[in-house]
Each structure stands twice: as structure tokens, then as C-alpha cells.
Structure 1
């Protein structure tokens, strides 16, 4: 298979407590150096708690944030962070809030024309033909083109957001919580649409979500992030059925299930790592029932545990269960 997206030692660090003169008071590493690859036509799900670095990673991939270290390659070619147009032609972002991601002062036609003008330099006739093609693909009527974003429901606005991403002719889409703001019935429609578009246009998806059921249903593989680092990655059907990392099991046990009482898998006194003073070893050790002295000394490497499953854990669950 051909690798569509390859990340090598990609990280992001933010200064905190800036002074008027002199260096910042501290630095927070939102994304630890990570390496991932996504094959053409694959959907890689990315899951983790709030603050684990999912959205920061997504913004680096589309050029909204420059990485502190590492490289991004698409189809074997490195992306230049200084050229935002190159990002736009290769990879596009579908935002979580469909309404606020659309310019309220522009009609849908003007919004759709922007990438066709600035990224591809199309003529008016070419733009019109391309917009009609894309609108047909996302099941939207052409009469919507002369309306404004506030005139649409959340589901319609998200279809417009997807259409705008497709207009750039990118083959990789970053889907950041694309259905979390929608009603459940509309969620199913949008997910089915994404599946159809993936097949029709040969797309590759990075699907970021808190909803583990949705991620498992739409993803080929899943990467689990904790404290900015990948702690487990593998086929979707294995990650949640037989997790190797205790954090992955915690996520699966925390997900609500119809007919099952909501029980917190952890106590209220659970301590999360301090981003300004990260622990020297495994960041999850304070919350892990299997943690040992080794876990508190050095972070575990990401190692293969079984066919297709990699986990960063000194005591994977297959050994401790």
C-alpha cells in the first residue's frame, strides 16, 4: 500500500507565562515527539481525553500551527510550513462546529469559490462546474449557493463544510469531531456521506472524536493519545475489544452504554499530570493500577504487542490480566 501521510518526530511546545522582557516562565509540550503513518484510503481514528493533544496535532497537519520539531510528508513529499497553499492543496480540515466555521458575511457560493480561486486559479465557468459537481456529491441543492450560513441547520452546514474541503481537491481530510455537534439521526447521515465520499474520491481520513463507538465504527485503525503521546495504536476492532494499554481500557470503560449504569472507573481524587512539571516516567503511572517503580523512572517505548497492535507500556494488559 502507498503511504498517504507520514509524521516523523512531530511535536509542539507552547510558552506559558510570557514576560514583557526575557524568556517565558515555562514551556508546555502539548504534543510529544510522535511518529505515525496513514495509508491511502485508510481512516485513522484518534482518541483521547480533552487536553491530550488531538486538536493541536490536527492543526499542525493542516498548517494552522507550525510544529516545534519533526516533519510531515504527504505521498513521500515533505510539506513546507512556510507555504500554506501547499497544505491547502494536499490536506483539508473539517471543523467541529459547522456554523462558526463558515464566514457569516459571505454566501455559500463565495465560500466555495475561495479555494477554487486561490489554490487552483479556476475561471468562473470552471468554478461553477466544479461547485455543481461537489454539491451533487454531498446531496445539497444548488439553490443553497446564494444563501448565508445562518440559514442552514447543523447537518446542512456540516455538509457545506465537507464540500468546501473537497473543493480544494485535497485527498486527505482531517475530521475534528465532525458529528459531535449534530443530532444523533443527523450524525448517521453525515457518517454515511463521509463513507460514500471516501469511496468515490479515494479519500484518506484522520477522524478525531471523543465518541469511541463512532471511532470504532468508521476507523480502520485507532491511535490513542495521552498527555500528548501515542500510547497505543492498532486495528479498531482490537483496540477496544482487547486493549493492551491500561489507559485505553480506562477510555473504553468510561464510555456510556445504553442500559448500563454510569459508574466512574476512577475516583474523584485521581491526579492528572502537571503539564508544567511532567512526571519523569510514564505520564499515566499515577492513575495506573499496574504501575511499578520502572514505570516511574522512564517513559516506556512504543513497542509491538501483537499483530498490528503497538503499545507504550511496561506491563501490557495481556501480561497482567
Structure 2
């Protein structure tokens, strides 16, 4: 299987407290060096707490943010951040809030025509045919094309967002919380649609979500982010059944389960690391019940845990200690 997407030491820093002269007062390392490979036809789930760098990483992949360092390679070719159209033809973004992601002043036909005109220079007659094909693929009626975004429900608007991504004919879709704003029944419809489109069109997905149950259900592999870095990666069933990094286990234990009392896995006094003054060594060590002296001195790299599962931990969770 060939690689659809390769990230090599990808980082993103944001200066804080800019001054007229001299360097900024501080720097937030939103994404620390991330190296990942996504195979063609794979769904890679990306999970982590709010502020861990998931959306920043996603926005770099589609050219909405320029990396501070590192490379993005799609289908064997490195992308030039200076050419946004190069990203658009290869990779597309499906946003969390479907209605606000659509231009309220344009009809759906105008929204759909934009990538066909600007990325593929498609003539008007062919654009009409292509839009009809895409709308049929996402189970939308053509009469919707002359309406405006505010006239649609959340589920319909998300289908339009997916249709717009397909119009660019990109083979990789970044799905950033694509169902979190939808009702549960509508979530199932959209997830089934995404699964069908992936099978029919041979798409590759990066699926970003807070909902661990959804990620486990739709993903082939999962990457866990903490404080801007990947701390665990492996097959979805392995990562959720037997997490090896203490942070992954914390996430799994935090997920609500029918029949289990809701109980915070950490105390109220727990504090997240300061992004302007990051700790030395492992960023998770202050919250980690398995921290050892080495964790304060060294930042652990991703290490093989067996069966292709990797975790950045010097004292990983024992293999037999499953999530609660």
C-alpha cells in the first residue's frame, strides 16, 4: 500500500506579544515535531483534548496555515505552501460547523462551482453535469442548488460541505469534527455516507474528533495528540482496547460508558502545562501516575510497543491493563 500523506517533523509556532522592534515576548509551540504516514484508502483518527493541536495540524495540511518547519508530502510530492491551489487539488477540508463554513451570500450552486472553475477550469456545461453527479452521490436534490446556506438543516449543510470537497476531486479529506454539531440520528447518516464515499471513490480520511466511540468505529488507525505532539499511534482496536500511554488511558477512562458511574479520572487541582513555559522532559509527567525520574529529564520518543503500536513513554501502561 502506498502512502497518501507523509508528515516529517511538522511544527507550528505562534508568536505572542509582538513588539515593534525585537523578537516577540513569547512563543506558543502549538504543534511540536509531528511525523506521521497515512496510507492510501486509510482512515486515521486523531484524538486529544481541546488545545492539543488537532485543528492547527489539520489547517497546515490544507494550506490554511504555513508550517514553521517540516514537510508535507502528498502522494510522493512535497507541497509548496506558496501555491494554495496545489493543496486544493490534492486535499480538502470538511469543517465542524457546516452552515458557517458556507458563504451566506452565495447560492449552493455558486459554492459548488467555485472549485470546478478555479481548480479545474471546467466549462459551464460540464460544471452543471459534474455538480449533478456529486449531489446524487451525497443524496441531495438538485433543487437545493439555487437556495442559500441558511435554508438548510445541519445535516443537509454538512452533506453540501462534503459535496464541495468532492467537487475539487481531491483524494484526501480532512474531517474536523464533522458530526459533532449534528443530532445523533443525523450523525449516523453522515458517517454512513462518508463510509460509502470512501469505498466507492477510494478516498483517504483524517478524522478528527473528541468522541472516542465515533473515532474507534470509523478509524483504521488512531494517533493521540497531547500538548502538540503525537504520544501514541496504532490500530484503533489496539489503542482503545489496550492503551500503552498513560494519557491515552486517561482519555479512554474519561469516556462515558453505559452502566458505569460518571467519575473524573483526575482531581480538580490538575493543571495543564503552560504553553508559554513548557515543562522539561515529558509534558504529561505532572498528570501521570506512572512518571519516573527520567520523565523530568528527557522527552520520550515514540517507541515500539508491539503489533505496530507506538507510544512515547518510558514507563508505559502494562499490556494487560486495559482501559476501565
The bucket for the TM-score relative to the shorter chain is over 0.9
Structure 1 equivalent of residue 307 of structure 2: 307
Residues 80-95 of structure 1: matches in 2 within 5 Å? 80-95=80-95
Compute the displacement of 1:319 (Å): 6.7
Bigger mean CA deviation after superposition, 161-170 or 18-27: 18-27
Residues 1-321 of structure 1: matches in 2 within 5 Å? 1-318=1-318, 321=321
Output one character per residue of 1:88-112: Cα deviation in whole Å (capped at 9) or x when no partner.
0000000000000000000000000
- Mapped to 2, the partners of 1:141 and 1:317 lie a distance apart of 51
Question: What's the Cα RMSD here?
Answer: 0.9
- Mapped to 2, the partners of 1:237 and 1:319 lie a distance apart of 13
- Mapped to 2, the partners of 1:34 and 1:94 lie a distance apart of 22
Compute the displacement of 1:314 (Å): 0.1
Output one character per residue of 1:65-123: Cα deviation in whole Å (capped at 9) or x when no partner.
00000000011100000000000000000000000000000000000000000000000
Compute the displacement of 1:139 (Å): 0.1
Compute the displacement of 1:260 (Å): 2.1
- Mapped to 2, the partners of 1:215 and 1:306 lie a distance apart of 22
Q: SS of the residue aligned with 2:190?
A: helix
- Mapped to 1, the partners of 2:176 and 2:28 lie a distance apart of 22
- Mapped to 1, the partners of 2:58 and 2:316 lie a distance apart of 28
- Mapped to 2, the partners of 1:135 and 1:261 lie a distance apart of 44
Is contact 2:18–2:24 with CA below 8 Å preserved after alignment?
A: yes
Q: 1:320 to 1:238 in 2, by over 3 A?
A: closer
- Mapped to 1, the partners of 2:18 and 2:259 lie a distance apart of 49
- Mapped to 2, the partners of 1:32 and 1:133 lie a distance apart of 41
Q: SS of the residue aligned with 1:104?
A: coil
Is contact 2:176–2:208 with CA below 8 Å preserved after alignment?
A: yes
- Mapped to 2, the partners of 1:267 and 1:320 lie a distance apart of 25
- Mapped to 1, the partners of 2:160 and 2:260 lie a distance apart of 37
Q: SS of the residue aligned with 2:237?
A: helix
- Mapped to 1, the partners of 2:319 and 2:199 lie a distance apart of 39
Compute the displacement of 1:142 (Å): 0.3
Aligned length: 321
Q: SS of the residue aligned with 1:240?
A: helix
Is contact 2:244–2:317 with CA below 8 Å preserved after alignment?
A: yes
Q: 1:294 to 1:320 in 2, by over 3 A?
A: farther
- Mapped to 1, the partners of 2:206 and 2:227 lie a distance apart of 19
Compute the displacement of 1:34 (Å): 1.0
- Mapped to 2, the partners of 1:67 and 1:51 lie a distance apart of 17
Q: 1:281 to 1:320 in 2, by over 3 A?
A: farther
Output one character per residue of 1:113-135: Cα deviation in whole Å (capped at 9) or x when no partner.
00000000000011001100000
Is contact 2:224–2:248 with CA below 8 Å preserved after alignment?
A: yes
Extract unaligned runs of 5+ from structure 2. none
- Mapped to 1, the partners of 2:125 and 2:259 lie a distance apart of 55
Is contact 2:43–2:218 with CA below 8 Å preserved after alignment?
A: yes
Q: SS of the residue aligned with 2:241?
A: coil
Using the size of structure 2 for normalisation, the TM-score is 0.98
Q: SS of the residue aligned with 1:196?
A: helix
